[in-house]
Amino acid sequence: MVPIACFLAFLALATARPHGTRQVSSTAKAGLAWPNGDFDNVDQYRSTGKVQWYYTWGPSPIDTDLEFVPMLWGTNQVSEWSHSISNTIQQHHVTHALGFNEPQQPGQSNLSPTDAASIWKAQLEPLKAQGILLGSPAPSSAPSGKQWLLDWQQACGGWNGNGSTGGCTVDFVALHWYDVNSTAFVQYLEDFHATFQKPIWVTEWACQNYNQVDQQCSQQDIVDFLNATQSFMDSTDWIERYAWFGAMRNMSGVNEWDALMDSSGHITFLGQQYIGAATPNVSANPQPGVVHGGDGEQGGPAAVSSASRAGASLVALIITAVIISTLA
């Protein structure tokens, strides 16, 4: 549910309060999940100021003064992370960091709760001493996701959101969600919030049906879905930040109409909607969960023109960017 590829205008959010609930900024929620390195133009998403942060599924930033949130994707990044994170925090004024990517998915970071707890304590927990706020490992929305997070909490020796030492401090819960029903999306977030009692970051979401692959969103369904979900998050104080999937030329099998970038690297109309530069033409009576597309992979702006490069070269590009920034 995520590309394999995934590899300062900072607005300070309120500092931690004693009881695990934190004051949440009502602005600066929208961000970019950005696998494009410096190859594509990030500034085209900044014209309104609504987008205030980005992450790259890894420890390496791009060349922009948007607020960078480093992620420790999984074991394959531990070495890079441990060598670079202190410098990155200083040079990029980092205030938040993200944990593992879809740890309960074999095709993603694929970590047992126990291993994840131990890597967390070695690599992420020490950042608390520098004042960094930490986001939980981000499970996919498969039913195993919430259970994994609960098991990880146990493996850590209990969450440590209350200022004591030890365990795994979770300042906010990060999660991913892929499906087609905006009402179900809201219910999912409410359940996570009720369960974990932390602010929520949705670090990937899109209108994509993984359960019935021939029941995908049409372009209009996606306009409606983005509008409904983004409106909810913009107006809900315990939703701290979000990043749609995605701002990329190749959607890695996710419905191409979800793309915020076309195959030439330009912002799409949906991208204009996402950043608040265009008022969406929402349906008069949208019906959450009712879809009008077919196989979403066949259509959409990112698939319209011929591929400028294949997914493999995108991976190579990102790895190159990572290497270059590591050497720099």
Ligand X SMILES: *[C@@H]1O[C@H](CO)[C@@H](O)[C@H](O)[C@H]1NC(C)=O
Question: Cβ closer to ligand X: 61 or 145?
Answer: 145
Q: In the complex, what is the shortest distance from the CB of residue 68 to ligand X, in angstroms, rounded to a whole number?
A: 24
Residue nearest to ligand X (CB): 311
Which 183-242 residues touch ligand X, going by CB under 6 A?
A: 183-184, 187, 220, 227, 230-231, 234
Question: Cβ closer to ligand X: 52 or 88?
Answer: 52
Q: In the complex, what is the shortest distance from the CB of residue 303 to ligand X, in angstroms, rounded to a whole number?
A: 6
Phi and psi of 168, rounded to 5°? -120, 115
Question: Cβ closer to ligand X: 20 or 265?
Answer: 20
Q: In the complex, what is the shortest distance from the CB of residue 65 to ligand X, in angstroms, rounded to a whole number?
A: 25
What character string, x for contact with ligand X (CB under 6 A) and - otherwise, covers 238-277?
------------x-x--------------------x----
Which 279-308 residues touch ligand X, going by CB under 6 A?
A: 279-283, 288-290, 303, 307
316 is a site residue for ligand X (CB under 6 A): no
Q: In the complex, what is the shortest distance from the CB of residue 311 to ligand X, in angstroms, rounded to a whole number?
A: 3
Q: In the complex, what is the shortest distance from the CB of residue 162 to ligand X, in angstroms, rounded to a whole number?
A: 4
Q: How many CA atoms lie within 13 A of 229 on its CB side?
A: 34
303/218 Cα distance (integer angstroms)? 14
Question: Cβ closer to ligand X: 78 or 232?
Answer: 232
Q: In the complex, what is the shortest distance from the CB of residue 246 to ligand X, in angstroms, rounded to a whole number?
A: 12
Measured at the alpha carbon of residue 21, what is the angle toward residues 91 and 194, in degrees to the nearest 5? 120
- Reply yes or no: is the peptide bond before residue 157 cis, omega within 30 of 0: no
191/204 Cα distance (integer angstroms)? 17
289/277 Cα distance (integer angstroms)? 26
Q: Are 309 and 320 in contact (CB under 8 A)?
A: no
End-to-end CA distance of the chain: 31
**The residue type at 231:** S
Q: Are strands 96-98 and 67-68 parallel, antiparallel or unpaired?
A: unpaired
Q: What does the block give as tokens for 308? A: 């400028």
- Sign for the CA dihedral angle at 315, 30, 293, 1 comes to positive
4/231 Cα distance (integer angstroms)? 29
Size of the site for ligand X (CB under 6 A): 31
Total residues belonging to the chain: 328
Q: In the complex, what is the shortest distance from the CB of residue 23 to ligand X, in angstroms, rounded to a whole number?
A: 16
- Give the residues lining the site for ligand X (CB under 6 A): 19-20, 158-162, 181, 183-184, 187, 220, 227, 230-231, 234, 250, 252, 273, 279-283, 288-290, 303, 307, 310-311
